[in-house]
């Protein structure tokens, strides 16, 4: 099929490459000329494992191209909308400027039978409004909402092998014409028995925000337990192991630490609360305010713990932050807890050096006032305290004895509870985890 993918960021670039891999003829469209230039040269404009190899592989087939010209969407049977929906400045709600801009630019190029597929995460009610715009400009075209569940760091395999497909259509019927068209796009996944749910537009939009809210709640739940464990002298990692063995609860997403961040969870739960308020259902989501507050409290707690670790004052203390990305295997620093903690420490007088295998360029753009060092060893040299804030494998695998020979004082705060505390203590380190004695 001929497919256009509008918006080639973390979601869209991967989606475009994967659709081409599945055999479709794909054009990726973005307003960012630099991104288009890089993607056209088969270079990934951001770090995502496997993406660059995939871009090279599919571009060699001639099935994938990129452009900034929206007219290139003309002739595609399916148009995926993958543009950003960030948090509005100074408000909790989602900024829909990019979604509206993309759709308005696309509609003059639609033809009879085309299907516009929304993948961006939007407040419930947006799809119905956009469906009206599509229908008005091209009555023979349809709009379908197909929320995306990929995880950065696993985006390629998540897109090629999704755990479920959700299609939202007007009326929520299997018989909707657009359903058959999208089934054709996802033939490979459907043949592999991927569950597919057809819903109305509002339910499909809500599935995405509900899923993210659940995940955020699970993380904040265990972080609240970490606060309690700290107060009671208990160990949250053992607690998580024990409750996680109950398969009604499950162990995944029960890792206490510095909390969640990134370009999705924080802004999605806030936009969800804002939208609930508009719908007169704000009470239903007031718990998310607490989820958000617990999450943000983790960052302050890490600053406090670092001060304790440094003997009561941060003034002039050389603190090395291991990790800048919001999670490992990504260079995404949007709302990264690691960087937010690094910036707070610096404001409070610490001399902070940040290192990360992939995210330093993005980090420096967002926090130019921080000092960055590419080499992990150089970053740790003469440190008074190390903070492991993004659990990249190379930090998890650090040898406590070798590391001790680099730093001035052997103190470490394990913000992700991923190190073997007894091993580090045995090597002479003062070790602090979160929610652990």
Stretch that binds ligand NAD, among 146-154, 236-244, 276-284, 349-357 (CB under 6 A): 146-154
Question: Catalytic site residue 18?
Answer: no
Cα–Cα distance measured from residue 26 to residue 21, given in angstroms and rounded to the nearest whole number: 10
Angle at 135 between CA 130 and CA 141, to 5 degrees: 105
Residue 150 in contact with ligand NAD, rule: CB under 6 A: yes
Q: Which of 84, 118, 266, 328 binds ligand NAD (CB under 6 A)?
A: 84
CA distances in angstroms from 313 to 307, 345, 387, 407, 408, listed in the order given: 5, 11, 16, 18, 16
Among 3, 5, 11, 51, binds ligand NAD (CB under 6 A): 11
Q: Note whether 6 binds ligand NAD by CB under 6 A.
A: yes
Instruction: Name the residue nearer to ligand NAD (CB basis): 45 or 400.
Output: 45
Rounded Cα distance between 176 and 164, Å, is 19
List the one residue out of 355, 366, 368, 359 whose CA is nearest residue 398: 355
How far apart are alpha carbons 166 and 179 in whole angstroms? Answer: 10
Report in angstroms how near the CB of residue 191 gets to ligand NAD at its nearest.
24
Cα(24)–Cα(27) distance, integer angstroms: 10
Q: How many residues does the chain have?
A: 437
Q: Residue 392's Cα: distance from chain center in Å?
A: 16
Window contacting ligand NAD (CB under 6 A); options: 27-35, 193-201, 239-247, 297-305? 27-35
76 interacts with ligand NAD by CB under 6 A = no
Residues pairing with 412 in the sheet = 386, 431
Question: At 68, phi and psi to the nearest 5?
Answer: -100, 5
In the complex, what is the shortest distance from the CB of residue 378 to ligand NAD, in angstroms, rounded to a whole number? 30
83 binds ligand NAD (CB under 6 A): yes
Helix (H) or strand (E) run with residue 78 in it: strand 78-81
Q: What ranges make up the beta strands (E) of 149-225?
A: 165-168, 196-199
Residue number with CB closer to ligand NAD (269 or 345): 269
We find the least distance from the C-beta atom of residue 98 to ligand NAD, in angstroms, to be 4
**Residue from 4, 67, 87, 121 binding ligand NAD (CB under 6 A):** 121
Supply the angle between the helices 236-244 and 201-232 in degrees, to the nearest 10.
Answer: 130
CA 97-100-106 angle, to 5 degrees, is: 135
Closest to ligand NAD by CB, 12 vs 323, is: 12
392 lies in the site for ligand NAD, by CB under 6 A: no
In the complex, least distance from residue 88 CB atom to ligand NAD, rounded to whole angstroms: 13
Residues 214-273 within binding reach of ligand NAD (CB under 6 A): 263-264
Out of 23, 101, 195, 311, the residue judged to bind ligand NAD by CB under 6 A: 101
Indicate the residue whose CB is closest to ligand NAD. Answer: 9
The tokens describing 90, both together, are: 């100074």
Q: Phi first, then psi: what are they for 398, rounded to 5°?
A: -55, 140
Q: Name which of 83 and 182 has its Cβ closer to ligand NAD.
A: 83
Query: Does residue 428 touch ligand NAD according to CB under 6 A?
Result: no
Nearer to ligand NAD, 22 or 103 (CB): 103
Q: Does 115 bind ligand NAD (CB under 6 A)?
A: no
CB of 192 to ligand NAD, least distance (A): 21
In the list 1, 77, 105, 427, the residue contacting ligand NAD (rule: CB under 6 A) is 105
Q: How far is the CB of 83 from ligand NAD (least distance, A)?
A: 4
Report CA 31 to chain centroid distance, whole Å.
21
Residue 148 binds to ligand NAD (criterion: CB under 6 A): yes
How far apart, in whole angstroms, are the C-alpha atoms of residue 217 and residue 212?
A: 8
* Binding span for ligand NAD by CB under 6 A among 95-103, 129-137, 389-397, 403-411: 95-103
Annotated catalytic residue: which of 8, 18, 229, 264? 264
The single residue among 4, 10, 221, 436 that binds ligand NAD, judged by CB under 6 A, is 10
Half-sphere exposure of 5 (CA within 13 A, CB side): 27
Cβ at position 426, least distance to ligand NAD in Å? 39
Q: Which stretch binds ligand NAD (CB under 6 A): 5-13, 288-296, 302-310, 425-433?
A: 5-13
SS3 158: helix
Number of residues that bind ligand NAD (CB under 6 A): 27
Nearer to ligand NAD, 122 or 413 (CB): 122
* d(C-alpha 30, C-alpha 15), whole Å: 13
Angstrom CA distances, 113 to 34, 79, 173, stand at: 33, 12, 17
81's tokens: 């909308």
- H/E element, 205: helix 201-232
Active site residues: 264
The residues binding ligand NAD (CB under 6 A) are: 6-12, 29-32, 35, 82-85, 98, 101-102, 105, 120-121, 148, 150, 152, 263-264
């Amino acid at each position: 099929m001929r497919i256009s993918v509008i918006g080639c960021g973390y979601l869209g670039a991967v989606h475009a490459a994967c659709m081409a891999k599945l055999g479709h003829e794909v054009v990726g469209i973005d307003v960012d000329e630099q991104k288009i230039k890089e993607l056209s040269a088969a270079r990934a404009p951001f770090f995502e494992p496997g993406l660059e190899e995939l871009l090279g592989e599919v571009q060699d087939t001639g099935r994938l191209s990129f452009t900034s010209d929206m007219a290139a969407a003309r002739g595609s049977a399916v148009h995926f909308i993958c543009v950003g929906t960030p948090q509005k400045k100074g408000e909790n709600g989602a900024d829909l400027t990019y979604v509206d801009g993309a759709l308005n630019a696309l509609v003059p190029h639609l033809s009879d039978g085309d299907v516009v597929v929304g993948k961006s995460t939007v407040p419930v009610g947006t799809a119905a409004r956009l469906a009206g715009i599509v229908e008005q400009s091209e009555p023979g075209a349809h709009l379908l909402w197909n929320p995306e569940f990929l995880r950065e760091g696993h985006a390629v395999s998540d897109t090629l092998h999704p755990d479920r497909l959700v299609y939202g259509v007007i009326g929520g019927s299997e018989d909707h014409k657009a359903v058959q068209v999208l089934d054709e796009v996802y033939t490979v996944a459907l043949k592999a028995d991927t569950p597919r749910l057809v819903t109305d537009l509002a339910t499909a939009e809500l599935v995405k925000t509900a899923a993210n809210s659940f995940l955020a709640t699970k993380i904040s739940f265990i972080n609240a337990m970490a606060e309690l464990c700290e107060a009671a002298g208990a160990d949250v990692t053992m607690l998580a192991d024990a409750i996680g063995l109950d398969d009604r609860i499950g162990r995944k997403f029960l890792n206490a630490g510095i909390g969640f961040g990134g370009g999705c969870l924080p802004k999605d739960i806030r936009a969800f609360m804002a939208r609930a308020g508009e719908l007169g259902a704000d009470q239903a989501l007031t718990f998310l305010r607490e989820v958000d507050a617990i999450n943000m409290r983790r960052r302050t707690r890490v600053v406090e713990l670092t001060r304790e670790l440094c003997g009561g004052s941060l003034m002039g203390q050389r603190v090395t932050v291991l990790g800048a990305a919001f999670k490992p295997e990504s260079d995404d620093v949007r709302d990264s807890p690691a960087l937010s903690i690094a910036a707070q420490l610096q404001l409070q007088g610490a001399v902070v050096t940040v290192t990360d295998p992939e995210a330093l360029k993005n980090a420096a753009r967002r926090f130019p006032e921080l000092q960055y060092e590419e080499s992990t060893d150089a970053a740790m040299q003469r440190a008074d305290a190390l903070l492991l804030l993004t659990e990249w494998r190379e930090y998890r695998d650090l040898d406590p004895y070798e590391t001790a020979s680099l730093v001035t004082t052997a103190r470490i705060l394990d913000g992700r509870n991923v190190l073997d505390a007894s091993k580090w203590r045995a090597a002479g380190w003062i070790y602090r985890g979160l929610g652990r004695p």
